[in-house]
Structure 1
Amino acid sequence: MDTVIIGPLALPAGTFVVLVGFFAATLASLWWQRRGQRIEATLWLIAVTAVFGARLAFVLRYHNQYESWLAMLDIRDGGWWWPGVLLALPVLAVSLFRHTRVRAALLSTCAAAMLTMTVTLAALQALSPTPSPLPDVTLYNLEGETATLKSAANGVTLVNLWATWCPPCRREMPVLESAQQRYPDVRFILVNQGENPTQVRQYLTEEQLHFEYLLLDPHTDLGRYAGNRGLPLTLLFDNKGQEVARHFGPLSDASLHHFLNHNLSGDTP
C-alpha cells in the first residue's frame, strides 16, 4: 500500500510509518515521564538527527540533480535515503553514555518505536495490491478520440495520474516535461483525472507545457484501478508491461532519477 487515507488527508506510506513510530515513542516517553524519567529532549534530538541524516544522504547521492540549495532543502519531493538515519546512532550512543539514569527509558522507547514501525510497514506491505500489467481502461486524447494505455505504452513506461487543481501535480509537471528528453528510453504518459479537454488545454497553454503522450480519464477509472484516491500518483511498468513500482506524491528531478534507477533492474532508465 503506497498511500494511507486518513479522513481528507492522503499520506505516503513511508511518512505514515514514521509518524506511527513517532507516536509510539511519544507514548512510551510519557509513560516513563510519569515514573520520573524525562527523555523528550533526547528523543527529539535523535529523531531530528535521523530525519536530517536521511535527507542529507539523499541530497549527497543525487546532488547533481538539484539546481539550487533551496531545491535541496525542499523535502516535499519525498527524497530520503534511509541508510542516512544511521547518523542518529552516535547521538543515541552519546546519550546512553552521558545519561545512565535514563538508559533503560531511552532503549525501551527506541525499541518500541522501531517495533511499531516494523509491524506497521509489514501490515502495509501485506495490504499492497498485487503488481498488475498495464490496465485495459478506455481513455481519451485531447481531441476526444479513444485510446488505451497499452496502445500508448512502448517498453519501459511511466504513467502519471494528475489534475490541474492539484498543487503537487502542478509542481511536478515541469519535471516530467523535461524528463521526456532526459530519459528517452522511458515512455512518459500523463493521464489527467476527471477533467475536460478545455480545462487541460488551458492549463498546458498557460504553463507552456508540452507532453507527447497526454490522455484524459474523465471518469477516473485508472485511479480506481490503481486503488488510490490521492494525487499525484506515478506508476512504473517494465518493458514487459508489468507494474514494478509506484510513487505517491510530487517528484523532483532527484526523486524521479532515484525512482527510475532504483526500480528498473535490467531495464535502461
Structure 2
Amino acid sequence: MPLLELHDITRQFKNGNVITEVLKGISLMVKEREFVSIMGPSGSGKSTMLNIVGCLDRPSSGTYRLAEKQVEKLSDGKLADIRNNFIGFVFQSFHLLHDLDAQANVELPLIYRGMGAKERHRLAEAALESVGLAHRRRHRPTQLSGGEQQRVAIARAIVGQPKMILADEPTGALDSRTGENIMGIFQKLNQEIGMTIVQVTHDRAISSYGHRIVHLKDGEIAEEEVLGLPEEESRSAADKNETGEEAENK
C-alpha cells in the first residue's frame, strides 16, 4: 500500500527576476515498510525533495498524497500536526539542544503534543533503550560522541511512534564504522518495527542498506535501482513462488 505519492512535483525559487527550477516533474511512490535512499550530486534537488516529503516546504506545482491524504495545500497548522504526529526527522547535524540532557531532548516532540510528564518519561526512556543509550540519558550532547548524539536524535525521531522516518545525510558527520552502526539501527527499525524510511545520502555504501535507490540529476529522477523487497513483500513473493512450484509438481 502506498504511504506517499508524489505526482509531477516541481519546485521553483524566485530571486528578483531570476527563477531557479530545482525540481522538474518528480513522480515517486513509496510503500509502507519500504526503505528508500535518494542519491544525487550536490544541487540535484535531494534536500528540496525531502523537505517537501516532510511537509517542511510546499511544491510549486503537482500533488502530494501522504497516507491517502492530499497535503500540499493544507494549512501551516495542519502540516505542523502531520510533522509532529506522523513523521520523525533525523539530520546530519543532530539538532540537539545543548542545555538539555539526552532524555529531555528525546521528550521534546511529546511536549509539543501536550503529553503528560509521566508518559513522556516512559516513552523517552524506552526510545533511548532501543538505541542502546538508556545509561546515557542524563548526559548532555557535549558529553556524548557524534555517534551517541545521532542515536539520541534517532530516539527523538521514533519516540512518538511515527509511520515514517526522514533522514538527511544521517551518517555524513560520522566515521564509517559509526555510520554502519547507525544504519544498523535504521534497518532494525524498518525490519522489526515496520517503519518506512526515506533517506538522502551521497554515500553509495549507505544507500545500499535500503530496498531501493532513487537517483536524482538536475531536478529529475534519472534512474531507480531495486535492491530488495520489504519483508512482507518478500514473504508474499516466496509464498507465490512456492505455490507455483507445488502446482507444477502436481
TM-score (norm 2): 0.25
Bigger relative contact order, structure 1 or 2 (CA pairs below 8 A, ≥6 apart): 2
Q: Which has the larger radius of gyration?
A: 1
Structure with a larger share of its residues in helix:
1
Structure with a larger share of its residues in strand:
2
TM-score (norm 1): 0.24
